[in-house]
A and B are shown apart, each in its own frame.
Chain A
């Protein structure tokens, strides 16, 4: 930990002392606009386009791992990746895309490895209490993703190709057209990879036998990642029409076709050629939006639809050359979505908002084909529908430039269950105009209702589950200084404190299957630090540096399950106590060198925090670098880029028995013609 603190301190020192040496006037603040009344007391992290558009092979899981304080739990390369804020679970992170919630209604979580960052134009994280402004149920926070009009005139085209280690190929094409009223954009990406990276498997050994089948030698094998190939296709169509008189209509439709093998564990002795373990997904997400803007008020209405078909197959060749199903699971989700929102300003000091959103889910889950006792066949599964309503009103008041107060009241309905009122109160104030030092505080109560699998999955669904509930508050301060075209420096520090009750956990039963129960109370608290700086320290040279550090104890505070339970007061499994990221960028005449680094402290794999030989996930550091050159010609802009991931070829795991790749390489070439 000391090393991490030292690194962060050094980063600050590099940025700040360099600024001092150059005798910049700290008082010369000219880059800061007026604070938005909408953002009173909000704790958020905004990811800029440089981060989101770094390269076409990145998913939002990769972007968040290196650019935010939230924890990304990755089960492997191009494999399930979930994110969690502030020591909570992935299902406590609500995710919206163009306003529509995209968490799986069956699982509650979102797979961020399925979201290419090149398909996101605007991403922000609303931490803790701040999530109530956007949605209910975000006990950890909200990840808000959206697309935006390209704002081009005429036709535009961008094509990027990437080639990487492990036979990885990425293609990205974007076509745009725009005029004063219309903006259209079509984005396509195709990613394929054998994903068969080599690694030394230290969880197993290979035996060498003599003729009498006595072991005469053993060694750790150098293995390939088995059953890890994938092919993901994404298509995003956007159409926007702007009347020029304050009305804008938009259509966003995102189609995903994914076919991924599920990698074998490091402890698996099966021959991968005899098995096929595969997940296929087809998803369509579409949103139609209308915004009506006037000087003092705004109305907007959205309608949307999500369709997801998931197929999971685990097949084995029993020796006759025919792959035969052992597990054949199917699910279909259809979601209808609607949202209406209004904002009304009274002068510049008051803002009132109201919103109502509805998600109607229809879910069919087919998990197993069986032969009944009578000899006929049947399928084990469930078929359920649920409506989820969420309404919120807010009043935001900024009587002076130095002070703001905001109150949000939210009410949610899921099925026939009405949640208690979800209140959130925010306050902020300018402590010092010199340095733009702003203090913020907020408090909220929140609820997350059980998922459809929690309630109805067969076998194991528990219809008697209660909603999880939580209190959270945070206090913090931020500052921002800079001089346009010369330097900028901003930072924030936030203390947060959350209490979550009735945490839902799936536990085995004596009947051999798992079933969820309201079992834990959790106290999560800690500190989030962020710093961001840029400096143009010489002619045509620019240095950018962003860093985060978080300390997130997340402790089980419930009653012991039995007298033998040693998990009380212990850190939750797989929640690191410390995480840190650094992202540095050095630019000169079209050249960009980037260094990315992230750090996770050890993660316990047991609720009792025993640190055993077979259950350890030690600290790891990850370093990636890239070098990019942009070339501008009269006929086109060209981009060439090379990237090295896992620079120091570190052996690491994010989850037990899930292999991760060592050092690997990617090159990208892009062209943007000028018509």
Chain B
């Protein structure tokens, strides 16, 4: 019997080894240049992370949100925007936007009550728009009070098919691409919070940017084979935002999946991913014959251009279940640096 009691005592000591509550003190210079990388993590696993890269010292810090706050960033870190010396990280499937201090990475507040947020765009200190998927409304929030203050209903869109994505602003007008099972660019009057115009483009415009000439750029993915919404050749569009008309259209092969339209700091060169990495002058009349960078045999997931020196950063999600890798190239296409970040690096944000 004593042996049994001894056995029982041994079994009782087992326990799971967690270490909670350890907050790390970061203190980066406010003036320092830096690049935040939102690592989406795996959908439904809550393992999104935030990485921070110093392009001058070429140092990378991973999991900085967790390390600074001793809590998880959440499920699918979709995007990050900087406004008023705060970083606003949109965590899609956690239904939250965290505001962090840019030097310490500590949370300073959060906006909740969102359906499935994708991007945040600031109109003023007290007003921002938040786009959504699975909701036919763009949410209006007060970032000072972390409150939802209103909605912009998008016509001909149900919650089930709801998808508003990236936002760019020119004057008082804001432009939004509608992506999933959609084909529209919206024009919103930010003074009245109303949609004043729409433009139909191709199937599923994935991203949006505005060049130095004030022209809008979007790229569609063309849908997929078997989609009842349609399957067509994807295309890159240049749009006049004043008249909401298509000025130029550059078509790709059916089955291609172009994405991630980005501009350099001057706004005179447009970059995008279509298997390889492509670059084109915003006044060009034809897509270049050769890519800016050849594919490394992977599906690139993220792209950004340094607004100061035009270095190009490309994210490789590898197998989507291990820390992805970011490659940094000069604008001449020479590899400068490479570093591992978190799972599925998808969005970048320059400090």
Contacts and interface: CB of A to CB of B under 8 A. Distances in A.
A and B: bona fide binding partners: yes
Interface of A: 3, 6-7, 10-11, 13-14, 18, 202-205, 207, 209, 213-215, 218, 220, 265-271, 274, 314, 316, 318, 324-328, 368-373, 375, 378-380, 382, 458-461, 505, 507-513, 519, 561-567, 573, 582, 595, 597, 599, 605-608, 610, 612-615, 618-621, 623, 648, 650-652, 655-657
B277 interface: no
Interface string B296-311: 1111110000000000
A522 B108 CA distance: 45
Interface stretch (B5-13, B166-174, B245-253, B282-290): B5-13
Nearest to B111: A269
B238 to A, nearest CB: 21
Contact of B63 (A267, A369, A509, A613): A613
A563 B294 CA distance: 14
A325 B160 contact: yes
Contacts of B66: 613-614
Contacts of B224: 458-460, 511, 513
A268 B10 contact: no
A372 B44 CA distance: 29
A266 to B, nearest CB: 6
A14 B72 CA distance: 45
B159 A325 contact: yes
A3 B63 CA distance: 32
A562 B298 contact: yes
B257 A618 contact: no
Interface of B: 3-4, 6-8, 10-12, 14-18, 20-21, 41, 44-49, 62-63, 66-67, 69-75, 91, 93-96, 107-110, 112-113, 115-116, 134-135, 137, 144-146, 156-162, 179-181, 183, 200, 203-204, 206, 221, 224, 226-230, 257, 259, 273, 296-301, 316-325, 338, 340, 342-344
Interface SS of A by simple majority: loop
Nearest to A7: B10
A373 B230 contact: yes
A504 B158 CA distance: 34
A524 B4 CA distance: 35
A470 B343 CA distance: 29
Nearest to A11: B7
Nearest to B107: A215
Given A14-B4, A215-B108, A614-B49, A607 B322 contact: yes
Q: Which 10 A-B pairs have the closest CB atoms?
A: A621-B14, A657-B46, A608-B322, A267-B46, A326-B134, A378-B228, A510-B257, A564-B325, A269-B96, A562-B298
A459 B159 contact: no
B158 A618 contact: no
A614 B259 CA distance: 29
Given A318-B137, A325-B159, A369-B161, A220 B20 contact: yes
A544 B320 CA distance: 46
A14 B6 CA distance: 11
A14 B145 CA distance: 65
A209 B270 CA distance: 43
B266 to A, nearest CB: 27
B160 A207 contact: no
Interface SS of B by simple majority: loop
Contacts, number: 269
Given A267-B94, A318-B135, A508-B344, A614 B63 contact: yes
Contacts of B94: 265, 267-269
A93 to B, nearest CB: 21
Given A265-B44, A567-B319, 15 more contacts: A7-B11, A202-B21, A202-B71, A220-B71, A271-B112, A373-B203, A507-B320, A510-B273, A565-B319, A599-B14, A606-B322, A606-B343, A613-B66, A615-B47, A618-B18
Contacts of A650: 14-16
A369 B160 contact: yes
A327 B160 contact: yes
Contacts of A513: 224
Contacts of B110: 207, 269
A608 B319 CA distance: 10
Given A7-B11, A513-B224, A567-B319, A207 B16 contact: no
A134 B44 CA distance: 35
22 contacts: A220-B20, A265-B93, A316-B115, A326-B162, A328-B160, A373-B229, A378-B228, A509-B257, A511-B224, A512-B221, A519-B319, A561-B298, A564-B296, A564-B324, A573-B321, A597-B11, A608-B322, A614-B342, A620-B16, A621-B14, A623-B14, A648-B12
Nearest to B94: A267
A647 to B, nearest CB: 8
Contacts of B107: 205, 207, 215, 218
B181 A370 contact: yes
A606 B319 CA distance: 10
B322 A610 contact: yes
B311 to A, nearest CB: 19
A566 B322 contact: yes
Contacts of A610: 322-323
B318 A561 contact: yes
Contacts of B221: 510-512
